[in-house]
Amino acid sequence: MSSNMEVDAPSAGSGAATMVSMHPLAIVHMADQFTRITSGGSPLTPDSPVIGLLFGMMSKDGQPTAGTAVASKHNSNTATLLEIQDADDIPTEISEATTLQIGLHQAVFPQHAVVGWYRVSQEDEPTAQDLQTTKKLRDHFALDQFVFCQLQVDGNSNSGGANADEPKEVTSTLEEELPMNLYQVHVPDDKPASAVLLAMDPSNWNLATSESERIAVERVIREQPTTSAVADTSDDAAIASQSNASAYYNHQTDAVQFSLRSMSDRLNVLIQFLEDTHAGKIPPNHGLMRDVVTLTMMLGPIASQTKRQSTSVDSHVLAHLATLGKVVSVVQAYTEKTIDPSRYTMTHI
């Protein structure tokens, strides 16, 4: 490494470490930008640097902070969570154009703030220029927990040549470790001018998605429909058509059952958390408790243990059918007016 740049291993310091959660879509956006630039699908030249800004939110003890992060030295025992939720190909230079693009991004996602920057390259470690850029952006956005993400790509992934048509072994989806590292600027107390990029411990950051996204991904992975064989005759085609219809019904039923099992498992985890908190086995997490109360308020009324009377069930069914009939009637009338407006005068409308 150059004498002007050093990458140190994470050291055990005092206080709570900063935890980072990155949404997988941020990695997808970085990789997509690299593909567009290197393949000629961008106004930039293929050898242009692939860089951009990271957007997300900073929270302490489960409570989001207002835009900027509070210095950890003021409260070293407070757990800090940095959520990287998106990556946008905005230039890292400090200019009016960059400020305008950041404003456009925040107009769509008002809860997002700039929390770092990224670079996609073939290099194994950051350079001295990466350190200078990180320090400049960290001071400009006044973020103590500003991060630099380096996504490493294969140098032969987009190269042509005589071996371009040779089959390549697909192993990227089987890799246990992502070719990505996160860094933060570290300034020693005894040498304020000797700033270095400190590599974050992999145990302090992970990929994170919402519960609904996890259920959807699990459903796609575990409940993929089977491919049917091609029919040769008309009889086989009829049998295959019936088989496909049955398979589609079975697939939909299995998908619903799997979604219900997934929700049941997550509710069991939530119930176990509440029971352990009530019994004093774990300390109370007030932020999570407020989330539980919010979730409970969003749920419908709890079903009664006793069965409803037949008259009550009939009344609910009739009310539902009456509402449905009224909606169908209104929609049908509106559809007829839309199809043939000449049949209706302004008084009818």
The model's pLDDT over 143-201, given as tens digits with 9 standing for 90+, comes to: 888 999 999 887 655 544 444 444 444 444 445 567 888 998 887 776 766 778 888 88
Can you tell me the distance from the alpha carbon of 31 to that of 87, in angstroms, rounded to the nearest whole number?
A: 10
pTM above 0.75, yes or no: no
For the cut 80, the answer to whether the pLDDT of residue 52 exceeds it is yes
Tell me if 44 is assigned to some domain: yes
For the chain, count helices (H), then strands (E): 7, 10
Q: 223-239: per-residue pLDDT in tens?
A: 555 444 444 455 555 56
Domain co-membership, 75 together with 201:
yes
Tell me if 252 is assigned to some domain: no
Domain co-membership, 333 together with 291:
no
Domain co-membership, 89 together with 190:
yes
Domain co-membership, 88 together with 131:
yes
Mean pLDDT, the chain, rounded, equals: 72
- The Cα-based distances of 316 to 66, 79, 162, 286, 321 in angstroms read 47, 50, 72, 39, 9
Can you tell me the distance from the alpha carbon of 175 to that of 173, in angstroms, rounded to the nearest whole number?
A: 6
Task: Select the highest-mean-pLDDT range: 9-18, 93-102, 151-160.
Answer: 93-102
Domain co-membership, 196 together with 289:
no
**Residues contacting residue 168 through CB under 8 Å, at least 6 positions apart:** none
Q: 251-263: per-residue pLDDT in tens?
A: 777 777 777 777 7
Instruction: Look at the chain and report how many structural domains it folds into.
Output: 3
Closest among 67, 78, 79 to 21, alpha carbons compared: 79
Domain co-membership, 316 together with 199:
no
Tell me if 227 is assigned to some domain: no
Domain co-membership, 40 together with 185:
yes
Tell me if 52 is assigned to some domain: yes
Percent of the chain with pLDDT over 90: 18
Tell me if 161 is assigned to some domain: no
Q: Which domain holds residue 270?
A: 263-301
Tell me if 165 is assigned to some domain: no
Domain co-membership, 274 together with 336:
no
Closest among 15, 29, 32 to 145, alpha carbons compared: 15
Domain containing 57 — which CATH number? 3.40.140.10
Domain co-membership, 49 together with 20:
yes
Domain co-membership, 279 together with 317:
no
Tell me if 226 is assigned to some domain: no
Tell me if 144 is assigned to some domain: yes
Domain co-membership, 320 together with 297:
no
For the cut 90, the answer to whether the pLDDT of residue 43 exceeds it is no
Domain co-membership, 297 together with 180:
no
